[in-house]
Structure 1
Amino acid sequence: MSSKQLKWFLLIVLALIWGSSFILIKRGLVALTPFQLGSLRIIFAAVFLLIIGLKSLALIPLGKWKYIVLTAFFGTFLPVYLFSFAQTEINSSVSAILNSLTPLYTLLLGAFAFGLLFERRQLFGVIVGLIGCVLLIFNGAINNPGQNYYYAILVVIASVCYAVNVNLIKKYLSDLTPLSITTGNFTILLIPALLVLSFTDFFAVVQQPEVQHSIVFILILGIVGTGIANIIFFRLIQMSSPIFASSVTYLIPIVAFFWGLLDNESLSLIQFLGAFIILFGVYLSARK
């Protein structure tokens, strides 16, 4: 398989994995709190990665660990809790669509914080995408008065965190293997996640059948949707560009939307229009 074919193959695999993550979060929230879900997601991923990648930690130079810490918190720690809290109030498909703003923030941060050049067309794409975001959120709030759409802002913040993460990896960690980066990230996060979990009532309710059922979904999410997916994502960043790698968010909403349909979620026509505007804005920003 050529390098060009491989990067597209990895992009599609990643979209299938991450597009399915939102419904797994929804299933996990049936019996777990957002703090419990986020912590378990990190812990399961960390244990899995330490089993398969412990030796790869020795390949990380001492001077790179500060960037490992930064990418761990921006790329994983903050987003897993932000998405967990967001989906207590908004649908999984809406969460996935808002996550597609990541390439726009990647472009803006790359230009203003990391010295990357951009064109006027790309700036126009950012503005178009943000208009679609506002339309999606406000129409969702009107049509779903029982949901607090202010929580959608948490997804936007998580997308900004992902954008910071992508640029940091491309600029400072491109010389490390994806397994080293991923294992390093979750080694850093294991203790904080255990601490957060210990401050919840998880150990008092873990024997309940519905809690154990939710844990199974988060086990899958932690190992496949977080551990394995991050290895693929970091490899994709290294072999392509930050914008191409983050454009996986074009495809994620499609996968998440079909999962949402199977789970009786729905979007209004205006929300479909907002989603289309977001994806069109991302396309303008990301295409060469």
Structure 2
Amino acid sequence: MQANESAPVKAWVFLISLACIWGASFLLMKKGLLAFRPDQVAAIRMASAGFVLLPFILHRLRQVRRHHWPLLFSVGAIGSLIPAFLFAFAQTELPSGVTGVLNTFTPLATLIIGVTLYQQVVRPQQWLGILLGLVGTILLITASATGEFSFNSYGLLIIVATICYGLNLNVIKHKIHDLGALTITGVSLALMAPPSLIYLFVATPVTTQVQDIQFFWSLSAILTLGIVGTAAALILLNTIVKLTDTTFTSSVTYLIPIIALILGVIDGEPFFLQHAIGLCAILMGVWIANKRARKSPTQ
């Protein structure tokens, strides 16, 4: 696959579907928070995602060796569990659209961690991309209705979450690249499901919240977030990679924040000029950082 133009129509349909699923996940978190605490939203999300993927990975467990288990546990904790809690708490004070845009910082966080911890070589244009991404992030977490800078510290929770994603992606790349994507994701999430469920029923008053008028609506939103936003999205992602390539698949990064912002505005969230500028800066930064260097005619 040499160019995105040659991708089959089916791949484009799957790509747009994936962007809609992931873009809507931030609004689903917001709806889950109507009846549940942030930690409950995260716990239900993780438990539902882990258990629904279990049938898909049972026959793959024989591929997992003893040395893989600690790494898979860390992938589940750092790459899924901790970010789930961070996102849920952040969205108590951040619009879902802004959260979706801030999540786009993940590729840049991955690059920064690759440089600092794994001695990854970085081209000058990638540093420019990182700088633009940081500028866009600052604009997003300081936006206000008056146009003045008003720092929202909850935005930092999303940045920490993207750093977790970056650490996770580097661990997968450098430590457990011998396992398939579905095995890594499915097993790591399955490892997080039991402790999440135990936490939900032991450490939170979830059984007393059933009478809340928003309970079942919010529960449906969180289950959709866990099952569709994780299990179905993972299947779509792997299908797109098989139909095309990773370059085409990575273009979903540019669609997710747009979907998240559109859904947020439809739901009545404010959208400021500073948000638009921040979005453009982050997307431009990601594009520049991931753009392949052109070869000279002599190469």
TM-score, normalized by the shorter chain, greater than 0.5? yes
Q: Which runs of 5+ in 2 are unaligned?
A: 293-299
Alpha-carbon offset, residue 143 of structure 1: 5.9
Preserved contact between residue 141 and residue 155 of structure 2 (Cα < 8 Å) = yes
Aligned match of 1:119? 123
Alpha-carbon offset, residue 95 of structure 1: 0.3
Preserved contact between residue 48 and residue 193 of structure 2 (Cα < 8 Å) = no
Alpha-carbon offset, residue 264 of structure 1: 1.2
Aligned match of 1:174? 177
Tell me, what secondary structure is at the counterpart of 1:149? Answer: coil
Aligned match of 1:47? 51
What code does the residue aligned with 2:209 have? Answer: V
- Identity percentage of aligned residues: 36
Preserved contact between residue 39 and residue 194 of structure 1 (Cα < 8 Å) = yes
Query: Quick one: structure 1 residues 75 and 232, their matched pair in 2 at CA, closer, same or farther if it must change by over 3 Å?
Result: farther
Alpha-carbon offset, residue 254 of structure 1: 0.6
Give the CA RMSD over aligned residues.
Answer: 2.9
2:33 pairs, out of 26, 29, 44, with 29
Q: Map residues 135-154 of structure 1 onto 2, 5 A cutoff.
A: 135-140=139-144, 149-154=152-157
Alignment: residue pair count: 286
Aligned match of 2:280? 276
> Which structure shows the higher helix fraction?
1
Alpha-carbon offset, residue 275 of structure 1: 1.5
1:99 pairs, out of 100, 103, 127, with 103
Q: Which moved more, 1:184-193 or 1:243-252?
A: 243-252
Tell me, what secondary structure is at the counterpart of 2:120? Answer: coil
Q: Map residues 102-251 of structure 1 onto 2, 5 A cutoff.
A: 102-140=106-144, 149-197=152-200, 198-233=202-237, 248-251=252-255
Q: Deviations over 1:52-108 (max 9, x none)?
A: 332222221222122211211121001111110011001000001111111111111
Q: Deviations over 1:177-235 (max 9, x none)?
A: 23221221122102221232120111111343411110011111111112232455578
Q: 1 CA distance for matches of 2:249 and 2:117?
A: 18
Alpha-carbon offset, residue 22 of structure 1: 0.6
Preserved contact between residue 46 and residue 193 of structure 2 (Cα < 8 Å) = yes
Q: 1 CA distance for matches of 2:173 and 2:240?
A: 10
Query: Quick one: structure 1 residues 34 and 279, their matched pair in 2 at CA, closer, same or farther if it must change by over 3 Å?
Result: same
Preserved contact between residue 145 and residue 272 of structure 2 (Cα < 8 Å) = no
Q: 2 CA distance for matches of 1:112 and 1:236?
A: 31
Q: 2 CA distance for matches of 1:193 and 1:171?
A: 27
Q: Deviations over 1:107-151 (max 9, x none)?
A: 111222223221011011101110111122112386699x98211
Alpha-carbon offset, residue 285 of structure 1: 0.8
Alpha-carbon offset, residue 274 of structure 1: 1.6
Matched, 1:19 2:23: yes
Q: Which moved more, 1:180-189 or 1:20-29?
A: 180-189
Preserved contact between residue 41 and residue 226 of structure 1 (Cα < 8 Å) = no
Query: Quick one: structure 1 residues 206 and 222, their matched pair in 2 at CA, closer, same or farther if it must change by over 3 Å?
Result: same
